[in-house]
Structure 1
C-alpha cells in the first residue's frame, strides 16, 4: 500500500528528477540553440519587428480547430523540451466516476490529507482560487456531473531551464496557441490559467546563489545580493537567507513564489516600511521575451522591461526566470498582539484578549487602532488588523503591531500609547510579552488547498489618515463592511521612495509611495457552490461597499496582486499614471500578443469568450 496514492505520486517523479539534475549541473541557464531548433520551425525565434502586412487570426487556436497543433507537433515540442511537456488532467478528476482517471483512494487523499502537504502547490494546473477556472472539476466526495478540463491548460511545460521557457514561448507564438504562466497558483484572478492554452510552469526554477559583494553595472549598488530563481518559494528563500545571515523581504504567505508574480505585481511584506516593496529589492531580471530571446533587464540594459516588469503586471511582457535582489542585514521581527471583542459577556481583567459590552466603544476602539497606523509606519512597522463579524451584533478586532528591528521591550513600549488610549475608552487590553524571531526564520504549515473566495482591495493614501473628514468617512465605510459580514483586513505600511532606495522608478502604481494602508475586504461566499448569476451578485454587492471606501480615499487605488478582477477603472486603479507607458512597452515588446492575462496593460484588446457572468478563463481567447 502506497502512503500517497500511486497515480498522484508517479506524476512527480520526472519533476523531482529534473529539479535535482538542474541543481547539480546548472542546466537552468541552458538556452535554446539553432541546433536544438533544427528543422522544427515551430520553435524558431521571432522577429521583434514583424512586417505590417503580417495578419493574425482573430482568436487563438483552440482544441478541435483545424489550426490547433497536430499531435505530431506536440510530440516534437516534447522532444525539444527533453520530455518536459505534461498533458495533465485536473486533480479533482480522480473523484468523478465518469472520468477515466477515477480513483477512490486518490480522491480520499485529496479530501483528507492533501491540504497538509505540498500537493496542490506542486501540481502543474492547480490554481488556489478555483472559480476563474470555471468550477468544472471541483474535488468532492460525491460530485455530480462530469469533470472537464474547463479553464485549465491543455499542455504544461515543466520549466527547469531557460531553454524550456524559450521553446514554449516560441511554439505558442508560432502556432498561435494561448500562453499562460503559472508558478504556485496563488493569483486570485485567473491570470495563471486559461482554456485551450499551453502553460509555462515556473515552479521548479528554484536556483539560489549568494553574492556577498555584488556590484551593479554602473556602480549604483554595491553590497550583498542574491540570485534567485523565479520558482523559489518564501520558505525556501528564507532557508537560504538563514544560511547566509541576511534578510530577503518576501510575501507573508510562506508558500508564495516571490520572484514571479509577487514582484511583477508590486509585492508587500512586513518589511515594507523598512526596506520597501518587492519591486524595490530587484537589481536585475533575467527574462525570456515574446520573441523567445533571453535577456537581462536592469537600469543599464533593457530599461523598458526593467521598468515595466517591476509592478507593471505579470504575464504581460515576458517570463522571469531569475532575478538578482538585495540581501539586507539580518533583522528581527517583533510582534505585539492583542484583540478585543464586543459581546453580551465582558471581561474586566486586563489582558491581550478582552471582551466588552458596549458596541459604540468597540467601534471607537476600531478607529483608534487604525489611527495608530501612522505612527506605526513612520517607525518602520507594519500594522496587521482584522475586523470580523462573529455573529448577531458581535464583532472582534484582531491587532498585530509587527515591528522590524525592535526588541520585545521596545515593541511593548512603542505600542503602549495605543493601549492607553483603548484603556481610557473602556477596553482593558494589555500586552503580556511580544514575540520575536529572526525575520527569515519564520516557519509554518507549507500545506495549502484551493479555495473559492472573493475579495477586493483598496490602497489608502496618507491624506485619508491625516484629513479628519476623510478618515471619518473611511472608518464609517470600513465599519459598514464588517457589519455586512465581510472581513476587513488592514495592513498599514509606508513603502516610500526614501525607504525603497535604489533603483527607481518602477512600473508600480506611484500611489504606493504615498500609501499608509492596503486593505482587503473578504466575502464569506463559496463561489464554487454558486451559479454564475449568484456569483456575479456576490461581486456586485461587494463592489457596492467598496464604492464607499473609494470615495473616502481619493487618489487611492487597488493592489494588482490582491484585487477584484472586476475593479472599476482598473487601468488607473492598478497602475495609475504609469498605465500608458506600460501599454507602450507591451506593444513594442509583444507585437504578436503572445502574453495575455486579465487586467494587465493592453489586455482590453482581447477577451475570453465565456458564458459566465463572472470573468472566468473557461473559454476561447479572441480579439475584441
Structure 2
C-alpha cells in the first residue's frame, strides 16, 4: 500500500515542506521554481521525523556506520518517516514494487497469461525500461526472479531490487529522496532505463530515485557560451529522454545529436555521464563532449547549475566521471549538429564453407583498414561469434555506418577489404544503402538492444592507434582477437575513434582520444553452476583473456559503461590520469558517500556483501575493512 498523508499534518504545511530544499546558482528549470529551506518551514513537525528528512537537523551520525541502513537494523526509518517522504514527493513513493516475473510464481500475483506474455518478450528492452525497478542485467540483479523457462528461481524475491522508489518528475522529488537517504543512512540508487552491464541502477533494499519521467525536450536556436566560444543550436532535455525520442525531435528540426546506437537507452541520464560512444563519435566526439550545461541535485540536497562558468569542477566531473557518483542530473543541454546524408552497410560471412584459416585471413585483412575507416569518420559495429559445438566462426557487420558519406564514398571505403575477401573466396553481399539523414539510417541499421544473458558478462578494452600503426602490432592484436574466439569468447567490436572537439576539458577517459577499436569479449558459464564455479570462471576470464588484451595495450583503458564488475584497477582503467582529480571532487561534492555505484569513483571504499558471494547487488552495501 502507498503511504497516506497523516491527518495531523495540514496541506498548507506539506506544501511548505515539499519545497523545503535549497538552491544554488540559477538552474534552468522545467516547471515551477523551488523554495529555500528555513527553520520555520518545518516548525511543528515531530523532531524525530524532521531529523530523518531535512538537512541540518540530523540527530544521529550515520556516516560512521560500517554498512548502509537496512530493514533489520534498529536505525531503519519508521513507517511514519516513509509516509513523510511520500508526502514530500507528492505521493510518488512506490513501496516494495515487485519484479515483473513475480506473475510467474505461486502467490497473490500469479497470472499464467501475463507470465506467458512476459516470457515470450523477456529479452526485449521495451518490456523492461518502463518498469520502476527492472535492471537489464539479471546477473547483476542476483538472478532472484526470472521467468521459470528462462531461469527457474523456484520462488520470487526482490534480491538486488530496491525496496522504495521515488518516481521523480521534478527536481524537488529528487532533492527529497537525496536528503532522506543522506540523513537516514539508507542506501540510495539512481535509475533511468536500467540499461547497464554492471547493474549500477539497482541495490538490495535501497531507496531508488527513478528519473525516467523527466521527458521535456526544448530546442534552442542559438545557445551562447562565451567562455568556450560555442554559439549554435542546442537541445535542453530531461534526463529521462531516450534515444528514439531525442533523435526524432532533432530530425524534425533538421538536426542530429550525439547519442548511442541503442534506441531505448537513456541518453541524458547515465549514458552521457559515462562518456558515451556514438555512431557520430568519429566526427564529433563522445556524448559527454556535447554537454553545455547540467542541472544537478547534489549530495547535500542543493539544486545547482553546472556549466563552464558555474560549478565548473562539478561540470568537469559529471561529463565522463560516471553516473550515480557526484549528483543526480535532472536536465542537460547539449549541442545540436546539422542533419546529414548517411550510408550504411550490413553483411556477414562464416567459416563453414571456406574453412577457419581462410575465415581468419579475411578478418586479418579487415584489421589493416581500421585506422583509415575511423579517420574517415565512420563507425563499424561488428561481432565475432564462435560455435564451440560445430567449430564454425561467424562475422556480422551490423552495420558499417558512414555519416556524411555518399553511397559512392562508402563503397570506396569498403571496396579494398571486399576485394581481398573476394580474392580469398569469401563471398559477401554488402547491401550498401544510402539515406537522406542520420535519423533514417539509424532507424534502419541498428538492432534493438536486448536484456543481458543469464550466464555471461563482458569485459572491454580501448585499443589505441598504436596497436594499428605497424604490421607487427596489427598482427599481434589480430592474434589476440582470434585467440579469444578460439577460447569461445563472443566478441563485439566498434571500429571508431572519439575525436576531441575543441580540446574538450572533461573527465572522459583519455584513452578514448587514442581509440581505434573499442573491443568487448564475454565469458560464459553454466547457469546452473555453483557460486564457486561461476566465480572461478569469471576470475579466470579476467586473469587470462582480458589480461592478454591489457598486456598488448599498456596504458590504454576500458569503457566504464560496458565492462566487467571484476575489472582490476578500475579507476585507472576507466579514467586513466583523470582519476586522482575525480577522487578529490568526489570528496568535495559527496564527502559522506551518499552516492554509490559499483566501479564508480571512490567505490573502492565499499563492497556489496552479496548473499551468494558473487558480484551482484543482492546484499548489503558495507565499508571495506582497511
Q: TM-score, normalised by structure 1?
A: 0.88
Aligned counterparts of 1:435 and 1:309: Cα–Cα separation in 2: 37
| C-alpha contact 1:280 1:501 (8 A) present in aligned 2 | no
Alignment-derived partner of residue 110 in structure 2: 102
SS at 2:622's partner residue?
Answer: strand
| C-alpha contact 2:262 2:448 (8 A) present in aligned 1 | no
Aligned counterparts of 1:524 and 1:372: Cα–Cα separation in 2: 30
User: Is 1:316 equivalent to 2:319 in the alignment?
Assistant: no
Alignment-derived partner of residue 14 in structure 1: none
- Spell out structure 1 runs of 4+ moving beyond 6 A: 444-447
Alignment-derived partner of residue 410 in structure 2: 411
* Structure 2 unpaired stretches of 5+: 2-28
Structure 1, residues 389-440: CA drift from partner, whole Å, max 9, x if none?
A: 2452321222342111011122112211222233333334454543435222
Alignment-derived partner of residue 426 in structure 1: 425
Q: TM-score, normalised by structure 2?
A: 0.88
Aligned counterparts of 2:86 and 2:431: Cα–Cα separation in 1: 59
**Offset of residue 32 of structure 1:** 5.8
Matches within 5 A, 1:300-379: 300-343=309-352, 345=353, 357-379=354-376
SS at 1:454's partner residue?
Answer: strand
Aligned counterparts of 1:46 and 1:517: Cα–Cα separation in 2: 49
Aligned counterparts of 1:520 and 1:584: Cα–Cα separation in 2: 30
Alignment-derived partner of residue 556 in structure 1: 556
**Offset of residue 27 of structure 1:** 5.5
User: Is 1:66 equivalent to 2:74 in the alignment?
Assistant: yes
* Structure 1 unpaired stretches of 5+: 1-6, 8-25, 346-356
Aligned counterparts of 1:238 and 1:380: Cα–Cα separation in 2: 19
| C-alpha contact 1:470 1:553 (8 A) present in aligned 2 | no
- Structure 2 CA distance for partners of 1:131 and 1:371, relative to 1, 3 Å: same
Aligned counterparts of 1:33 and 1:80: Cα–Cα separation in 2: 15
Alignment-derived partner of residue 443 in structure 1: 443
Alignment-derived partner of residue 15 in structure 1: none
SS at 1:118's partner residue?
Answer: helix
Aligned counterparts of 1:473 and 1:433: Cα–Cα separation in 2: 31
- Structure 2 CA distance for partners of 1:542 and 1:34, relative to 1, 3 Å: same
Matches within 5 A, 1:524-539: 524-525=524-525, 527=527, 529-539=528-538
| C-alpha contact 2:125 2:136 (8 A) present in aligned 1 | no
**Offset of residue 56 of structure 1:** 2.7
**Offset of residue 113 of structure 1:** 4.4
- Structure 2 CA distance for partners of 1:54 and 1:107, relative to 1, 3 Å: closer
Alignment-derived partner of residue 54 in structure 2: 44
Aligned counterparts of 1:95 and 1:181: Cα–Cα separation in 2: 27
Tell me how large the CA RMSD over aligned residues is: 2.4
**Offset of residue 465 of structure 1:** 0.8
Please say which of residues 427-436 and 587-596 is displaced more in the overlay: 427-436
**Offset of residue 470 of structure 1:** 2.7
**Offset of residue 145 of structure 1:** 3.2
Alignment-derived partner of residue 619 in structure 1: 619
Alignment-derived partner of residue 34 in structure 2: 31
**Offset of residue 360 of structure 1:** 1.8
- Structure 2 CA distance for partners of 1:556 and 1:55, relative to 1, 3 Å: closer
**Offset of residue 273 of structure 1:** 0.3
Alignment-derived partner of residue 574 in structure 1: 574
Structure 1, residues 236-287: CA drift from partner, whole Å, max 9, x if none?
A: 1111112111001111110100111111111001111011111111111111
Alignment-derived partner of residue 540 in structure 1: 539
| C-alpha contact 1:120 1:450 (8 A) present in aligned 2 | no
SS at 2:593's partner residue?
Answer: coil
Aligned counterparts of 1:117 and 1:326: Cα–Cα separation in 2: 27
Matches within 5 A, 1:158-197: 158-197=167-206
SS at 1:456's partner residue?
Answer: strand
Match of 1:392 among 383, 387, 390: 390
